[in-house]
Chain A
Amino acid sequence: DAGVIQSPRHEVTEMGQEVTLRCKPISGHDYLFWYRQTMMRGLELLIYFNNNVPIDDSGMPEDRFSAKMPNASFSTLKIQPSEPRDSAVYFCASSLNNEQFFGPGTRLTVL
């Protein structure tokens, strides 16, 4: 059974460009989480969905960040415009009960 799938795995872009990160959760999981991980701050929750509905987006750093979940098998995290301080690893995770299963992450570098 496939785990959480994220794409792209690596993204290098220039400041000001739009970045879209994609996630496919594990089939049947009803929760989806977006995290950001940096050395300084560790793993931070950005937003999470339950049954495709955003529940808490208080972790989204600012209006440049947006996330959508149009259906149970797909979610996107968009940064527009991107800035160098957005450089981090972005993880998507899904869960059915208490255990969260993480995708391999997208390593984003904004020059």
Chain B
Amino acid sequence: RKEVEQDPGPFNVPEGATVAFNCTYSNSASQSFFWYRQDCRKEPKLLMSVYSSGNEDGRFTAQLNRASQYISLLIRDSKLSDSATYLCVVNNPGAGSYQLTFGKGTKLSVIP
């Protein structure tokens, strides 16, 4: 089983739509969770951390389900500028909490 699994997509959605991505992770001892965003031919950048109680940042909502070992990202009112690849990221416990494992990403295209 892969450590972090994501649906590669692509997700093609119209502007204004709501879209959700899920991610599963294999190590139940992982403690830190993130969503990174990567634009085409650019470096990954932190979008948001994911907290146990769920958290929201504007149009973006992240949820964590520890029992099922999955993380979700919800984007409301999609904008053209949201088109990117979204990477699910978890830390590797025991190896040092700063060591991260990245999923391969889910590609989102927001269409006019």
A interface residue numbers (CB < 8 A to B): 31, 41-43, 45, 48, 50, 55-56, 91, 95, 98-100, 102-105
Q: Which residues in chain B, 77-109, are within 8 Å of chain A measured between CB atoms?
A: 87, 91, 95-105
B interface residue numbers (CB < 8 A to A): 32, 34, 42-46, 49, 87, 91, 95-105
Are A48 and B44 in contact (CB-based, < 8 A)?
no
Are A102 and B43 in contact (CB-based, < 8 A)?
yes
With A42-B103, A55-B96 already in contact, 20 other A-B pairs whose C-beta atoms are closer than 8 Å? A41-B104, A42-B102, A42-B105, A43-B44, A45-B99, A45-B100, A48-B96, A48-B98, A50-B96, A50-B98, A91-B43, A98-B49, A98-B91, A98-B98, A99-B34, A99-B46, A100-B46, A100-B98, A104-B43, A105-B43
Which secondary structure dominates where chain A touches chain B?
strand
CB distance from A33 to the nearest CB of B (A): 8
24 sample A-B contacts, Cβ–Cβ < 8 Å, listed by A number: A31-B98, A42-B102, A42-B103, A42-B105, A43-B44, A45-B101, A48-B96, A48-B98, A48-B99, A50-B96, A56-B96, A56-B99, A91-B44, A95-B98, A98-B32, A98-B97, A98-B98, A99-B34, A99-B46, A100-B46, A102-B43, A103-B43, A104-B42, A104-B43
